[in-house]
Amino acid sequence: MIHTTAVIHPKAQVGADCEVGPYCVIGEHVALGDKCRLHSHVVIDGHTRIGQANEFFPFAAVGMKTQDLKYKGGNPRLEIGDQNVFREGTTVHCGTNDGEATVIGSNNLFCIQAHVAHDCLLGNHIIMSGFAGLAGHCIVEDHAILSGYVAVHQFCRIGRLAIIGGCCKVRQDIVPYMLADGEPAKPLTINKVGLERHGVSEATQTALRTAYKIIFREGLLVNEALARVESELPQLPEIKHLLEFIRSSERGVSK
């Protein structure tokens, strides 16, 4: 299952039942899990550890050196879970400093030319559509969707089950469970379709919609708005996560 034109370093670890197509390159410090498929012209390099059943389409470049000018050498890493799909031209970089890592979970889809920069932390079941890009140190929670050409500033977070419209610039955190759009991106309403697809009850959706109005529509200071949400709404897991996400924000949430 390894094409004769593939170049695999003798010290690289390639798991069982992997398929490595024409003109692929696998570097010295790569560990590739079982049942991965590299279609053709894929480059995987750096101190990169990849789980099982991941699929890499042509011209994906994974585990490359950070573009951060603060890089001083050492062994920054890239860690990838299971069953991810990296479509044509996707780029994923290792961390910047020795011992640090870019981390990607499982069951994510990275569409054509998506970019994940150094030191990003991504969860599971995320979709990054074509040409969407994450700058360094971004965090993306489970089930988030970045539409085409979304550009996310360094150190921003994208919350769980959030969806961001196409061609948006994200310069502050996007809170969980919301649909964000505009220039720059800001929450417009709850992500109703995404919540329904993931089995979130109508009662919880109503509570999230009310929380959205209190936080983003009534002109309150953040602490005042969060206090009202806590006192007036049921303390559902989704409400608690929304409040904790906002309180832990370092760049502030987009409003």
- Residue-wise pLDDT for 38-82, tens only, equals 999 999 999 999 999 999 999 999 999 999 999 999 999 999 999
Which phi and psi angles does 147 have, rounded to 5°? -75, 180
118 is catalytic: yes
199 is catalytic: no
Query: Which tokens go with 7?
Result: 């170049």
Q: Where exactly does CATH 1.20.1180.10 map onto the chain? A: 196-247
d(CA 201, CA 195): 8
d(CA 171, CA 168): 10
Averaged over 142-165, what is the pLDDT? 98
Q: Domain 196-247 carries which CATH code? A: 1.20.1180.10
Residues of the chain with pLDDT > 70, as a percent, come to 100
pTM for the whole structure: 0.97
Q: Which of 45, 68, 119, 173 is catalytic?
A: 119
Q: Which of 118, 130, 173, 194 is catalytic?
A: 118
* Structure confidence at residue 201 (pLDDT): 98
Q: Which of 63, 136, 159, 194 is catalytic?
A: 136
Query: Which is the CATH superfamily of the domain at 7-137?
Result: Hexapeptide repeat proteins (2.160.10.10)
pLDDT (tens digit per residue) in 189-212:
999 999 999 999 999 999 999 999
136 is catalytic: yes
Which phi and psi angles does 62 have, rounded to 5°? -125, 135
Q: Where exactly does CATH 2.160.10.10 map onto the chain? A: 7-137
- Other C-beta atoms closer than 10 Å to the C-beta of 75 total 14
Which phi and psi angles does 116 have, rounded to 5°? -120, 115
